Amino acid sequence: MTIAVPWSLKHGDHVPMTLPRRAVVRMHINHMVHHRGQLSVYLRLIDVPVPSMYGPSADERG
């Protein structure tokens, strides 16, 4: 299994998207990062300290 081979999104017999696996992985990582950013913004808006997600946040006392 290599990351350069095509990956297809299928809905029954319909194939709405075919991309290299590396592009699909990159899109999913970008999507997760986007939602992590949304979470931190929403937590700050309601005055909840942002937890460390990938290392310490500015809201943690160290």
The residues facing 19 across adjacent strands are 7
pLDDT tens by residue, 17-58: 999 999 999 999 999 999 999 999 999 999 999 888 778 888
Mapped onto helix, strand or coil, the DSSP state of residue 37 is: helix
Q: Which helix (H) or strand (E) holds 22?
A: helix 21-45
Mapped onto helix, strand or coil, the DSSP state of residue 51 is: coil
pTM: 0.72
Q: Read off the pLDDT band of 62 (50, 70, 90).
A: low
